[in-house]
C-alpha cells in the first residue's frame, strides 16, 4: 500500500541530529514529517544508550573547577588529535565551527532546554597526558544520554508548533525519489534542501558531500542537526 505524506520538510531518523533538526524546523514554523525505521520506544537513537558526555569548551562547570579553557586551546587540541592533512579543508572548518559555536549553540542551547550537567567536567577517555587533551572538557549530562534524548523529545512534544510534526516509526527509508530536480543525486552535485547531519554525515565530508555536517559525537550531532534544521527552515 502506498501512503503519501506531505510536509515542508522530512527528517529521516529520530536520533539526536534528527530531533535537533526537527526542533529547529518547528521553531521556524515549518511542518515536519519524521520517519524512523525503529520503534517509538527507541526514539532518540544511539543517544539513549550513550554515556552522555558532551565535549564543551569554557563552561560554568569548568570555571567552578578552576579549569582555564579557551576556544584557542581546544582547537589546538583538536588539531593535535586529528593530525589533519593539507587537503582537509572541510574537517578543519568543522572543527573550528564546533569549537567556536559549542558554547552558545550546544551548551547554552541545551541548558535553556532544561538539560543540566554533572558539576565536575571529566577527561575524555583517550588518555590524560597525550597531546590534545590539555584540560577536562567532557561534560556528563545529568541522567546520562538517555535523559538528554528524552528531554529533547519532551521539548518536541511540548513545542508550540507540535501540531506541525508528524512522526512515523517502523518506516525505513530505502531510497530518495527524484523528480524535476527537487531531489537528485549520483551526479556529484549538491542536492538542494538535502542535508546529512549527525552520524549519517560520517567523518570528513560524509555521504552527501558539501551539505554533510559532521557529527560523530553528541555535541556534533546537536550542532549539525540544528544547522541543518535552520538552513532548511530558511529555505537554503
Residue 215 binding ligand FAD, by CB under 6 A: yes
Q: Under DSSP, is residue 100 helix (H, G, I), strand (E, B) or coil? A: helix
* Number of Cβ atoms within 10 Å of the Cβ of 49: 13
Q: Residue from 7, 8, 27, 37 that binds ligand FAD (CB under 6 A)?
A: 37
Q: Residue from 11, 18, 121, 156 that binds ligand FAD (CB under 6 A)?
A: 18
Residue 120 binding ligand FAD, by CB under 6 A: no
What residues are paired with 35 via a beta bridge?
12, 168
- For the chain, the C-alpha Rg in angstroms (whole number) is 18
Residue 35 binding ligand FAD, by CB under 6 A: yes
Owner of C-alpha cell 534528527: 18
Site string for ligand FAD, 124-153 (x = CB under 6 A): ---------------------x--------
In a 13 Å sphere around the CA of 134, the CA atoms on its Cβ side amount to: 17
Residue 15 binding ligand FAD, by CB under 6 A: yes
Residues 6+ apart with CB under 8 A from 15: 44, 45, 46, 47, 198, 199, 221
- What is the distance between the alpha carbons of residues 154 and 148, in angstroms, rounded to a whole number? 10
Closest approach, Cβ 127 to ligand FAD, in A, equals: 16
Read off the DSSP letter of residue 118. Answer: -
Could you say which residues in the range 161-180 bind ligand FAD, by CB under 6 A?
172-173
Q: Which is nearer to ligand FAD, 20 or 233 (CB)?
A: 20
Q: Residue from 100, 118, 123, 217 that binds ligand FAD (CB under 6 A)?
A: 217
Task: For residue 79, give the C-alpha cell.
Answer: 588539531
Residue 38 binding ligand FAD, by CB under 6 A: yes
Three-state SS annotation for 1-12: CCCCCCCCEEEE
Residue 182 binding ligand FAD, by CB under 6 A: no
Q: Applying CB under 6 A, which residues contact ligand FAD?
A: 12-18, 35-38, 45-47, 49-54, 145, 172-173, 198-200, 215-218, 221
Amino acid at each position: 500500500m502506498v501512503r503519501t505524506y506531505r510536509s515542508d520538510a522530512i527528517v529521516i531518523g529520530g536520533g539526536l541530529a534528527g530531533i535537533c533538526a526537527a526542533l529547529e524546523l518547528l521553531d521556524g514554523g515549518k511542518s515536519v514529517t519524521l520517519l524512523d525505521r525503529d520503534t517509538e520506544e527507541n526514539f532518540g537513537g544511539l543517544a539513549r544508550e550513550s554515556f552522555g558526555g558532551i565535549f564543551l569548551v569554557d563552561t560554568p562547570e569548568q570555571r567552578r573547577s578552576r579549569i582555564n579553557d579557551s576556544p584557542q586551546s581546544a582547537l589546538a587540541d583538536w588539531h593535535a588529535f586529528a593530525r589533519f592533512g593539507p587537503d582537509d579543508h572541510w574537517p578543519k572548518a568543522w572543527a573550528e565551527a564546533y569549537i567556536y559555536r559549542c558554547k552558545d549553540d550546544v551548551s547554552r542551547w541545551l541548558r535553556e532546554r532544561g538539560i543540566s550537567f554533572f558539576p565536575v567536567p571529566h577527561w575524555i577517555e583517550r588518555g590524560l597526558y597525550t597531546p590534545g587533551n590539555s584540560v577536562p572538557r567532557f561534560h556528563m549530562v545529568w541522567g546520562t544520554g538517555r535523559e538528554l534524548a528524552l528531554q529533547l523529545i519532551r521539548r518536541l512534544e511540548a513545542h508550540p508548533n507540535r501540531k506541525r510534526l508528524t512522526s512515523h516509526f517502523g518506516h525505513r527509508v530505502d531510497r530518495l525519489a527524484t523528480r524535476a530536480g527537487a531531489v537528485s543525486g549520483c551526479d556529484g552535485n549538491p542536492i538542494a534542501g538535502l542535508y546529512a547531519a549527525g552520524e549519517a554525515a560520517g567523518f570528513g565530508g560524509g555521504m552527501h558531500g558539501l551539505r554533510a555536517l559532521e557529527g560523530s559525537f553528541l555535541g556534533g550531532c546537536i550542532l549539525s542537526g540544528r544547522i541543518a534544521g535552520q538552513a532548511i527552515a530558511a529555505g537554503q
